[in-house]
Chain A
């Protein structure tokens, strides 16, 4: 069955360093991959979308890579700040437009 895996444990990163979050998937061939940020008590907020034929996407301090051979996406936050602390979700969108989400990784940026 289709499966998405994100780091289940919280990730602690020192302020100013680069945070790297991983999203692995199996038994799936997504057309798109999306990353979201979710703060406690709030709905997810869309951050970046990357298509299957794209290797990398950037937006300000954010960078996403997508390796369809490894079935993996990496999400990087450079020059991390305490305000970046949140849960980050990856989501795969299939060719049938069905979307499946990972369970998310909690990121703590330590001052």
Chain B
């Protein structure tokens, strides 16, 4: 079974731009969660999607948004990028939700200049 894939793996943007990251979950998994990881704050939960609906949301500003498609693939969008958005963005998939085993992708490393 193929693992969770994320594209792109690396991205450089400038302040004010917007970015879209993509995540393909393991086949059959309906839950996709997104996380931001930085050295200072660690791994922080952004949001979780299940069957195309956002089911949970962390404490991030509205500039961070996401969506899930009918095939469970998910995208995350960050608008009006700030320097502090530089981080590793990870997505994780599971059958039903984060209370179960989550399988993480390799992440997208975003650098905002």
B21 within 8 A of A: no
- A5 and B17 CA atoms in complex are apart in Å by 35
Decide if A99 touches B42 in the complex (CB within 8 Å): no
Inter-chain contacts of A43 with B (CB < 8 A): 4, 90, 92, 104-107
- A64 and B43 CA atoms in complex are apart in Å by 21
B101 within 8 A of A: yes
Q: How large is the interface on B (under 10, 10 to 19, 20 to 34, 35 or more residues)?
A: 20 to 34
- A9 and B52 CA atoms in complex are apart in Å by 40
A46 within 8 A of B: yes
Decide if B44 touches A42 in the complex (CB within 8 Å): no
Inter-chain contacts of B107 with A (CB < 8 A): 42-43
B33 within 8 A of A: yes
- A106 and B103 CA atoms in complex are apart in Å by 21
- A99 and B45 CA atoms in complex are apart in Å by 7
Interface residues of A (CB under 8 A from B): 31-32, 34, 41-46, 49, 89, 91, 93, 96-104
